[in-house]
Chains A and B, each alone.
Chain A
Amino acid sequence: MSQEVKLMKGNEAIAHAAILYGVDGYFGYPITPQSEVLETLEAEMPWKTTGMVVLQAESEVSSINMVYGGAATGKAVMTSSSSPGISLMQEGISYLAASELPALIVNVMRGGPGLGTIHPSQSDYFQATKGGGHGDYHLIVLAPSSVQEMADFVGLGFDLAFKYRTPAMILADGVVGQMMEKVVLPEQRPRRTEEQIARECPWAATGHSKGRKPNVVTSLELDSALMEKNNERFQETYRLIEKNEVRYQAYHIEDAEYLVVAFGSIARICLKAIEDAREKGIKVGLIRPITLWPFPYDAIREASRHTKGILVVELNAGQMIEDVRLAVADPTMDIRHFGRMGGIVPNPSEISAALNRLMNHES
């Protein structure tokens, strides 16, 4: 039953996976190209089955603060939006991180800056991986490249968020949000009971304070010495996440003379270019970071040891390439960027051409 193969959009998969994971609440505001998440949830009416709360808020600002309020009571809550909406949420995301609250935020990226375009982009890489809001914090950032991963990363995102008490983000793009593909959805899990929440989240402001001291969820600490201690605690958590949670997928890197690094849906377009290159006998491999933070520095460093050049392909002006440069030990390595912006998705032959330029040392 649960192994049934379905065909759906990535955005729809997020919604179904949320219900099946036993998420307690979703709060969101429509924005292209991710409105199907809220639309699907409203159509499915999970409040009648699992008891999940679904609410269309008056803005993204309100959505993320609803997430903050819900997460503070120990519930599994999430929101989704697209780039301009995620920008509006940054203050709330900083509060979530500072209050050490687990939550899931989905960004189905569109081209910016500004109102930009509704078409696919990856130009929020810096925002997602390097902070985004104010203060020293990180999100766990998962980059799905298929509809199946859109579904799977809902559960993974929540598991990691609760494990480390930190918000997690699914950083998708318009391609993987809008495309339909086969997917096997997880089995229905029950929502956590009050008792479970009290046991697993002893910090939560559930209101049920009998037998314990009242809980206060706050990010405010005016004593600088104590605020520094808070920051040190956050950083310890981040070091632990960096140690334990790096995820990536490698294709054909064993014999690769050239390496492509790409994430999300674009990694698949790169794979097509790599398949074409391999047919011609050119040894090209791919590393697809799945966690953009923590970033797979070691894997890329290792793979780069026997390569002649690296091509980083992104739907932006060159953001992840900075992390690839940090990863690669050899300063003489030819590391190049190929990107399209403004909502344009390159086709495989453009990537093949960029690979050829790398191999032929052409600019």
Chain B
Amino acid sequence: MTTAVEASLARLLDSPGVIGVALVDAVTGLTYGVAGDSEEAAGGAECAELAALIVERLGQAGAEGELESVITTSARRHQVLLAVTRPAGDPLLLAAGMDRERANLALATRSLGDRVAEVLA
């Protein structure tokens, strides 16, 4: 059965090169839904921990402002964590795995960022 979250996430798979996406609670690490290749989207708990660690270290280094995204690149894949803010409630993370050959990282990140608000609709 497709849930409302999964249905929203599935729409993001249209973006070129996006292989898998997951919607994760940025605080608890709970995964609310996955679309596409779940392996490529990475585990929720790890995503949340990674993002929390980065926020903490950036804070120690004197950086200010909420986290926007974490981008990891490798020879074959890109992994993007995008912060999803909501009107009320704890922040979420959209984790997206991309095929490096097919995805233009800048464009794909931009388009995911533009569409991220749709996920909660």
A and B associate: no
Interface residues of A (CB under 8 A from B): none
Chain B interface residues (CB < 8 Å from chain A): none
